[in-house]
Amino acid sequence: MPIRGGYRNYLVISISSLLILILIALPMLSPLLDRILHPLNGSFGSLRIAFLEGYIEIDGLNGEVNVLYDGLGIPHIYASNYIDAYKVMGFLHAKDRFFQMDVMRRLAQGRLSELFGELTLDIDRDFRHLGLYISAEKTLDYIANSNEFSWEYQALLAYTEGVNQFLRYLEVNGISLTEYSLLGLKPEPWKPVDSISIGKFMAWSLSWSMEDLNLQELVNRNGLEILVDLDLLDRSLNTPILDKFKVDT
């Protein structure tokens, strides 16, 4: 049923009034919100670090590793070897950001809907067509079987093990991450391909442009002359690269 003019005006006034009240109240609410939402000192931040003060036993370390937090809550890792450092870094990353890591890997792999249902189906379809996960699997297979990248592969395995040791730490100690409790799910173990998937996603997100693909499709359907007709060859930015073709203007 369409909204009548009088009711629509009433609705707009009500929403506007509510927004004004929120804006007026923000200065008074700010200290409370800061105590709750501050990433280090807020309630959520405190939950992240409270149970990890003191001594934590991580399996498979070759020596003792010390982690010191500075005044900004940034961890500094001191280890006798790089593999131990990578393992502890994986543990700490998961401690502070596992849900973000999980969302990013699922985004790159086209698996967000496993968390959020039909809401993200279109996003998953787009990223599966993009093929970042397939590319990540090929990269992992290459470095796993290449002498040139043997050290990097070992570091990746150590990092992965560190992430999963944090998840096991939660399970053994009966600790649930808030995000998964709200979703009614359990965290999925980390895999080496997950880290590579995020790397692929970051590279794509910092450099991507569908414009070249769209222009190539335009040329495929209409011929090179379409670029001249639409004045698309003289732009200083994002000029398409046409290999082995030349258009006389």
| Domain-wise residue ranges, the chain | 1-29, 88-207, 209-249
Q: What is the pLDDT of residue 186?
A: 93
Smallest CA-to-CA distance from 160 within 232, 94, 208, 224 is with: 94
Q: What is the pLDDT of residue 48?
A: 52
pLDDT digits (tens, 9 = 90+) for 74-108: 889 999 999 999 999 999 999 989 999 999 999 99
Sign of the C-alpha dihedral computed for residues 130, 133, 138 and 139 taken in this order: positive
Q: What is the pLDDT of residue 225?
A: 84
CB 201 within 8 A of CB 104: yes
Per-residue tens of pLDDT for the chain, all 249 residues: 444 444 445 454 555 555 555 555 555 555 555 554 554 444 445 445 444 567 788 888 999 999 998 888 788 999 999 999 999 999 999 998 999 999 999 999 999 999 999 999 999 999 999 899 999 999 999 999 998 889 999 999 999 999 999 999 999 989 888 889 888 999 999 999 999 999 999 998 887 666 777 778 888 888 888 877 887 766 544 445 555 555 454
Q: Copy the structure tokens of residue 206.
A: 């910092």
Q: What is the pLDDT of residue 43?
A: 45
Domain 88-207 has CATH 3.10.580.10: no
Residue with tokens 């790089």: 82
pLDDT digits (tens, 9 = 90+) for 145-163: 998 889 999 999 999 999 9
